[in-house]
Structure 1
């Protein structure tokens, strides 16, 4: 009899625990359906029966489950904005480079297409600038200046006789520099300098609109006593540069639009108006630097056939 009573007591206790756990499960079902009034009742009852640890465990498991669901949802949303393998394959079939394929993938996420186009326009050089130098060296400063003045005057006069207008010839700089030789002194670590003479340098700039005369100008100057060709540059007139900039920009825009159209076709969408546009242009005259006549004889300078102006544009288009 006592044994049956003990077994009945154990069964009753086990049933009570099962019912309590069932109520805990129901509690978290209520959480999902936001039934807050019933939730408070079951939570208090669970706490009174000492199932706080079980409650904490189930809460933790529920939070983990919710976190995993959110992560799964985020991955799903991300995959919807990512270029599929099929779309990438279509891009490859269209012959698009990898950079365009990446642009397509970005476009799917932002609903915009951003492309960069390059353009160029060119024209024959119109202006040549020859910079010459007359260098003299004498032990006496006045002798160095006198000789330099005589040679410089002769160079300028011979250029004028060759038909170069006076306003096309100008002296740009003049310098007179003492020259020293250095030697070790009588004491350790000492150096001694000795004045050996003076170097005088006079620079002349000749601007030519007839670039075919560059070689002749150099020959005349050297024959008259000039001993250094500092630089020769070929350039374009300002109005020509401006016109070429516009042409280069138009070519760059055309290049950018072609890229955007290729991307839109690969996406199967329609290109709309541009949202943003940024531009830049680049032009540098052709330069030849610092040719020492004494070292190479008469230098040979060949004018370039054309000078180029480059342009770059970055355009962001919307699409639908």
Structure 2
């Protein structure tokens, strides 16, 4: 007779085709795979990699009395930013417009309707490059040519699949070791794996951007790449006998 060692284990139910317009029928009984005890084990495996891609978001915010003036000033400053990126060796394919925005600025007074005092224009680009060691110098270059809105760098792994596969394999080993432990404690043995479900992965991307403020000094802004943790979470169902 089958028993369950863990409350989260679910019976495997048979399904049959349901004619169009008919209501689904509840199966009469669960499908029996084999006599034994089912055990669900949740495990997370991980590995580390040095990030090899940096992404910076940089832009220009300008204000003026008219919409045309705000956009015109913004366009000139953004052209200097893009030219600086080109001179710094950033490929055009790695620079992508992220935001273009024009919005009125209001003055509020009690008992009066809001009054437009001017306009604010915003233009920003996402910059992606693989030489992380140059991130600090590029941040300083951007600030030096007039970029007044900078987020980053966000550090990530360009091709995380190999690292994810290592993490998945590690998770299986951890799950197997835990299943063997539970089986021995129950006087049983882990006969085989019934199913594996991947419940989540972390591809090593940085959780969030780091706000940058230009330092008043001669050397470039320091950026430490460190290591990114890559992980995979699995739910593995074992048959114990």
Q: Which of the five TM-score ranges fits, normalised by the shorter chain?
A: 0.7 to 0.9
Does residue 115 (structure 1) correspond to residue 34 (structure 2)? The answer is no
Decide whether aligned partners of structure 1 residues 265 and 301 sit closer, same or farther in structure 2, where only a CA change above 3 A counts: same
Does residue 139 (structure 1) correspond to residue 65 (structure 2)? The answer is yes
Corresponding residue for residue 95 of structure 2: 169
Greater per-residue strand proportion? 2
Write out per-residue CA displacement over residues 41-100 of structure 1, whole angstroms, 9 at most, x where no aligned residue. xxxxxxxxxxxxxxxxxxxxxxxxxxxxxxxxxxxxxxxx9xxxxxxxxxxxxxxxxxxx
Query: What SS does the aligned partner of 1:197 have?
Result: strand
Greater per-residue helix proportion? 1
Name which of 281, 285, 288 aligns with 2:200.
Answer: 281
Query: What SS does the aligned partner of 1:137 have?
Result: strand
Q: How does 1:1-320 map to 2 (within 5 A)?
A: 111-185=37-111, 191-237=112-158, 240-283=159-202, 285-289=205-209, 291=211, 293=213, 300=221, 302-320=223-241
User: Cα offset for 1:272?
Assistant: 0.7
In structure 1, C-alpha distance between the alignment counterparts of 2:188 and 2:211, rounded to whole Å: 59
Deviates more, 1:167-176 or 1:116-125: 167-176
The structure whose RCO (Cα within 8 Å, separation 6+) is larger is 2
User: Cα offset for 1:124?
Assistant: 0.8
| Structure of greater Rg | 1
In structure 2, C-alpha distance between the alignment counterparts of 1:292 and 1:254, rounded to whole Å: 41
Corresponding residue for residue 87 of structure 1: none
Asked whether the equivalents of residues 137 and 221 of structure 2 are also in contact (C-alpha less than 8 Å), the reply is no
Asked whether the equivalents of residues 154 and 210 of structure 2 are also in contact (C-alpha less than 8 Å), the reply is no
Query: What SS does the aligned partner of 2:147 have?
Result: coil
Write out per-residue CA displacement over residues 254-307 of structure 1, whole angstroms, 9 at most, x where no aligned residue. 00111111122223323211222222332251154373748x879956344111
Query: What SS does the aligned partner of 2:238 have?
Result: strand
Report the RMSD for the aligned CA atoms in angstroms: 2.9
In structure 1, C-alpha distance between the alignment counterparts of 2:154 and 2:212, rounded to whole Å: 16
Write out per-residue CA displacement over residues 172-217 of structure 1, whole angstroms, 9 at most, x where no aligned residue. 22111111101123xxxxx322211110111122110111111111
Aligned length: 210
Unaligned residue ranges in structure 1 (runs of 5+)? 1-80, 82-101, 186-190
In structure 1, C-alpha distance between the alignment counterparts of 2:137 and 2:212, rounded to whole Å: 17
In structure 1, C-alpha distance between the alignment counterparts of 2:236 and 2:126, rounded to whole Å: 43
Asked whether the equivalents of residues 44 and 174 of structure 2 are also in contact (C-alpha less than 8 Å), the reply is yes
User: What TM-score results when the alignment is normalised by the length of structure 1?
Assistant: 0.59
Asked whether the equivalents of residues 115 and 315 of structure 1 are also in contact (C-alpha less than 8 Å), the reply is yes
In structure 2, C-alpha distance between the alignment counterparts of 1:146 and 1:169, rounded to whole Å: 21
Query: What SS does the aligned partner of 1:164 have?
Result: coil
Write out per-residue CA displacement over residues 130-163 of structure 1, whole angstroms, 9 at most, x where no aligned residue. 1011001111222211211111111111221122
In structure 2, C-alpha distance between the alignment counterparts of 1:113 and 1:268, rounded to whole Å: 14
User: What TM-score results when the alignment is normalised by the length of structure 2?
Assistant: 0.76
User: Cα offset for 1:218?
Assistant: 0.9
Corresponding residue for residue 17 of structure 2: none
